[in-house]
Structure 1
Amino acid sequence: MQLQPTGGDYSWILNLLLWIILIFVMMFYGQKLQLYSTLREIETSLYKLKYIRDEGRKIAIETIKEIGKPQVDPASRVDRFLEYFTISPQSMDPAGIVWKLEHILDVRDDRLKDEVRLLAPAADEVQTNNLENTLEAAMALNYIYKVVRHYYLLGKKTLSLYVIMQVQMILPLVMREAEAYASALKAFAYGQPIGDGIGALVAAKLMHGHEVRKIAKDCVVATVPIEGRIAYVVKAEGPGGNVGKPGDAIKTIIEENEGKITNIIMIDAALKLEGEEVGEVAEGVGAAIGGPGVDQFKIEESILKYRIPINAVIIKVDIGDAVSPMRKEIFEAADKAIERIRQTILERTKEGDKVIIVGVGNTIGIGQ
């Protein structure tokens, strides 16, 4: 009797063929499959970015209509505003670059404020500053969306895995930044304090109840007795969205006192590292101030002239916290920072000395 082989006896051949086919497919088409999968992932994030961008535009327009009472629909002018750009000065010859940059930034600031006044004629000065911040956040969202879209379309057009992979690798960080700006929009629209304003809040707490005078563009100062010392407490003029010009303020105070300043203490928010706690307070030396560097340059020039020591107190925040409504942990860190300031004053100055305390940051929602 002859036995017929069953189909199951040759199943290993089928498995082998499937593996061979799979290997060949991955060899010749694996990169393309990965490319299309990555493109799909970027496309999903791009749709989310577009939604965030459109919501930002919508919030900006609604806020302008509510506060500014424009006679015509501001949508078209807002769209023009969102495409606004600034060209950095030429730096091939670095001599004088700081003053060129400052001039460009001043022109930009004046131009943006003029645009806001045209968009919202009924807005007062505080509301104008807040609306400017709102529109700048919307502008940032628009720019982020357009840059990601550019590289997505470029990668799709060229089918370059290297272009697409670069976008994919930084996309989580880009999305975090976009979500932070989305939160900032609402804070700016409603005039709420943000995490970046913690330095201004510390200064406001110190100067509360004392006479305040204007010292530089969008900056105020109060003379406050602290531990037997004379403290000149500086912050941006609030409660509108302002960062002021602390570099000019410090320079003016130093010149008014003929350089007889014993110490300068600067307080600002700083980005924390992963694993660090939000609201953690740290001390160091140097000019604690971000931005394009103009104010830091001015401060360093002023202190170098008179050899004035400069100390820094920072409050650590996440990238999302910096432009989002101020969290409880950050708010509570203000009192800890004040204790550090008092301790620094006691340890590094004598009774009767003069010190400058500068609260750096956007003072939106924070008065004097």
Structure 2
Amino acid sequence: MATNALATWITVGVNILWIALLFLWLTGLGNWIQVYWYRADIRSKLNLLGGLADEAKKATLDFMNKNNAKDAASLLDRLTDFFTIDPVSVEPTDIISRMRHLLNIRDMRFKDSFIEAMPNSDDVTRSIASTAAEITSALNFIYKYVRHLLLFSEKTKNWYLILQLEIFMPQIVQLAQTYRKALDDFLTKVPVGDGAGPMVALRLAGPDAKWREVTEDTVVTETNFEGRNIILVKAKGPASTVGRPGEAAEKVIREAIAQGRKVSLMITVDAALKFEGEATGDVAEGVGAAIGDPGPEKIRFERVATEYNIPLRAVIVKMGMDEAILAMNQDIYNGVEKAVERVKQIIRSESREGDTVVVIGVGNTAGVGQ
């Protein structure tokens, strides 16, 4: 009897459950409950994003005020929403020149703002403050964009947009947390993963190299390697800048050729994103210009190489996106050492004694002097 009663109650319970599930499916109530949970989770993560943006703003303001910046809060508020509008691409004529012009204006606006606000600070400190402002701006944009998508989906009752947003929230939060941690690393003025390229150039130059500034925020030196004359180019450190490596490389190549020297090889060295499963610090080589540039600098490498028929080679040090903007770890440093040896190997095999070889260390040179 007890067994039959238990079986009956189980059957009744299962039937009630099926009826409830059928009711939720027919009325759409189940989807509404699911969306409600998604919205609650997104709002929770949105609060986290807002907190990260606020922390970044406070850390940047503290750094600026510590260095006696004038009206730091007002300046940061203006730069946080600063934007650059891409040039017209429907008419591609001289689009690179127009893009370069806009990017140069943007860079100069940031630089001039911090020179005016921090007149008693050195160039390195001002560059760090500028980078901190850009990271703060990025975090603020992430927060506002996620908030926009959430509010817009609620306003239009677009539950599929909420579902998509919920799917991508873990990656968005991870990206924001990486930016926040990167801010602390930049403020302490340590080399970051993206400094692998400049560090390779520095290692090839040696400690006694005499560097000169060849174009804005970009320096060059010369050394000898097994009978070859090596021209090395990198951003001017230890400020937080990527300089103008394409413009500098084009200038030094034209100078060398005007002096009657044979430029037989150009090598760009940069950090590059690795695939999941690949080891941080792995080194690979290829053909072309290794530079994460929207176009103006990269095309200078390609044009001068084509004009003078110079082989354009690339060496990359692989790392994750988070590792590229965080303090350089041991794996990346080991990758730098491997990249130095790979560059030497390419020089040996693809140039001859008496040739001139140009090596460009591309990347952010924060914490990497000369």
Q: Which category describes the TM-score, using the shorter chain as reference length?
A: over 0.9
Distance 1:9-1:249 versus aligned 2 partners, 3 A rule:
closer
Number of the residue aligned with 1:101: 99
Q: Distance in 2 between matches of 1:273 and 1:32?
A: 38
Residue 38 of structure 1 pairs with residue 41 of structure 2: no
Cα pair 1:35 1:159 within 8 Å, conserved: no
Number of the residue aligned with 1:305: 307
Q: Distance in 2 between matches of 1:169 and 1:303?
A: 44
Which of 150, 153, 157 is the matching residue for 2:151?
153
Letter in 2 for 1:308: I
Helix, strand or coil: the match of 2:119? coil
Number of the residue aligned with 1:333: 335
Letter in 2 for 1:189: L
The correspondence of residues 88-127 of structure 1 with structure 2, limited to 5 A, is 88-127=86-125
Number of the residue aligned with 1:231: 230
Q: Distance in 1 between matches of 2:52 and 2:288?
A: 37
Q: Distance in 2 between matches of 1:151 and 1:252?
A: 46
The correspondence of residues 313-324 of structure 1 with structure 2, limited to 5 A, is 313-324=315-326
Q: Distance in 1 between matches of 2:366 and 2:8?
A: 76
Deviates more, 1:25-34 or 1:285-294: 25-34
Q: What's the CA shift string for 1:240-276, capped at 9, x where partnerless?
A: 0111111111111111122731001111000010000
Distance 1:292-1:71 versus aligned 2 partners, 3 A rule:
closer
Matched length: 362
Number of the residue aligned with 1:180: 178
Which of 260, 280, 283 is the matching residue for 1:281?
283
Helix, strand or coil: the match of 1:257? helix
Q: What's the CA shift string for 1:110-158, capped at 9, x where partnerless?
A: 1111222233232211111111111111111111111111101112222
Unpaired segments of 5 or more residues in structure 1? none
Unpaired segments of 5 or more residues in structure 2? none
Letter in 1 for 2:83: F
How far apart are 1:172 and its partner, in Å?
2.3
Q: Distance in 2 between matches of 1:247 and 1:16?
A: 72
Number of the residue aligned with 2:294: 292
Helix, strand or coil: the match of 2:286? strand
Tell me the TM-score normalised to structure 1 length: 0.94
Cα pair 1:234 1:359 within 8 Å, conserved: yes
Letter in 2 for 1:294: P
Letter in 2 for 1:356: V
Tell me the TM-score normalised to structure 2 length: 0.94
The correspondence of residues 340-355 of structure 1 with structure 2, limited to 5 A, is 340-355=342-357
Number of the residue aligned with 2:60: 60
Residue 264 of structure 1 pairs with residue 266 of structure 2: yes
Letter in 2 for 1:159: K
How far apart are 1:34 and its partner, in Å?
1.8
Number of the residue aligned with 1:243: 242
Number of the residue aligned with 1:70: 69
* % identical equivalent positions: 38
Q: Distance in 1 between matches of 2:360 and 2:8?
A: 82
How far apart are 1:357 and its partner, in Å?
0.4
Deviates more, 1:342-351 or 1:8-17: 8-17
Number of the residue aligned with 2:18: 19
Deviates more, 1:110-119 or 1:233-242: 110-119
Cα pair 1:98 1:294 within 8 Å, conserved: yes
Letter in 1 for 2:277: G
The correspondence of residues 160-179 of structure 1 with structure 2, limited to 5 A, is 160-179=158-177
Q: Distance in 1 between matches of 2:189 and 2:225?
A: 31
Letter in 2 for 1:61: L
Number of the residue aligned with 1:192: 190
Letter in 2 for 1:297: I
Deviates more, 1:299-308 or 1:210-219: 210-219
Distance 1:194-1:10 versus aligned 2 partners, 3 A rule:
same
Cα pair 1:238 1:366 within 8 Å, conserved: yes
